[in-house]
Amino acid sequence: MPTSNAHPQLRIDIVSIFPDYLAPLELSLVGKAREAGQIDVRIHDLRDCTQDRHRTVDDTPYGGGPGMVMLPEPWGDALDSILGSDPSRTPVLVVPTPSGERFTQAHAAKWALGDWLIFACGRYEGIDSRVMEHFGERIHVAEVSLGDYVLAGGEVAALAVTEAVVRLLPGVLGNSESVVDDSFAPGRMADLVEGPVYTKPPLWRGLEVPEVLLSGHHGRIEAWRLEQAHERTRTRRPDLHGETPSGDMAD
């Protein structure tokens, strides 16, 4: 009887008061992965877990202040129900919030190795903090931010995290098993961003494709691409502190 698997099917549950906002998960790479049975995506309406006639999900913040805060009871009931539906999996509860730790490719790679992601998509001023405190004592809870800007809710972040994870799964659209662990895989963003890319035609509106890319010299091409990646990293993403290639002391 198997107790673990290198890549079990990934289940993804998303709880939101705007389930229609998650419709893009039927499209493109994630939609195809669902159709192929590589992932099991289930979207839930938080309002189905309310008890009152008005299906209330929010109330005023204790201590005062602007806006509304999401009630803990509907979240508790929704998450209890989802967690109770499969005791054999190991869930991570992902809570998008501008006050979370920055979501990175390292999170995506780790979660692509797991078997269950549950997204709690807040709205308004966020979810009563006792929800994260309570479930943090039962399962792993990750409060994550996409970046330093404020969205109107967690749904767009859940879409972004889902796509970042699903594209790493083996068998999903041309990805091999090695992509999650390959520190040199394009797009991994370890400490370098990608340089510019080009396709046909070789001359477009007076602009030429760099000659080296047409040369057929694979060694020169790779060296040029690395140099371009370092230059872009230096000028656009100094926070990534990409190393200057040896022999090219760029200033």
Catalytic residue numbers read 98, 125, 167, 182
Nearer to ligand JCZ, 67 or 196 (CB): 67
**Which pair of structure tokens corresponds to residue 1?**
């009887």
- DSSP character at residue 179: G
Q: What is the closest distance, in whole angstroms, from the C-beta atom of residue 38 to ligand JCZ in the complex?
A: 27
Give the residue from 83, 85, 93, 145 showing the smallest Cα distance to 114: 93
User: Peptide bond preceding 201: is omega within 30 degrees of 0, i.e. cis?
Assistant: yes
Nearer to ligand JCZ, 105 or 175 (CB): 105
Nearer to ligand JCZ, 18 or 124 (CB): 124
CA 102 – CA 98 distance, rounded (Å):
9
Nearer to ligand JCZ, 124 or 224 (CB): 124
CA 154 – CA 139 distance, rounded (Å):
20
Question: Three-state SS for 91?
Answer: strand
- Map the footprint of ligand JCZ across residues 119-158, applying CB under 6 A: 122-124, 126, 145-147, 149-154, 157
Per CB under 6 A, which region of 14-22, 118-126, 168-176, 231-239 contacts ligand JCZ?
118-126
Site size toward ligand JCZ, by CB under 6 A: 17
Question: Three-state SS for 232?
Answer: helix
Residue 27 burial (CB count, 10 A)? 10
- Map the footprint of ligand JCZ across residues 153-192, applying CB under 6 A: 153-154, 157
- Strands 116-120 and 10-16 turn out to be parallel
* Structural contact between residues 225 and 217, judged by C-beta atoms closer than 8 angstroms: no
Q: Which of 24, 61, 72, 98 forms a contact with ligand JCZ (CB under 6 A)?
A: 98
Question: Three-state SS for 40?
Answer: strand
* 61 contacts ligand JCZ (rule: CB under 6 A): no
Per CB under 6 A, which region of 95-103, 108-116, 166-174, 227-235 contacts ligand JCZ?
95-103
Q: What is the closest distance, in whole angstroms, from the C-beta atom of residue 156 to ligand JCZ in the complex?
A: 8
> For binding to ligand JCZ (CB under 6 A), which residues are involved?
96-98, 122-124, 126, 145-147, 149-154, 157
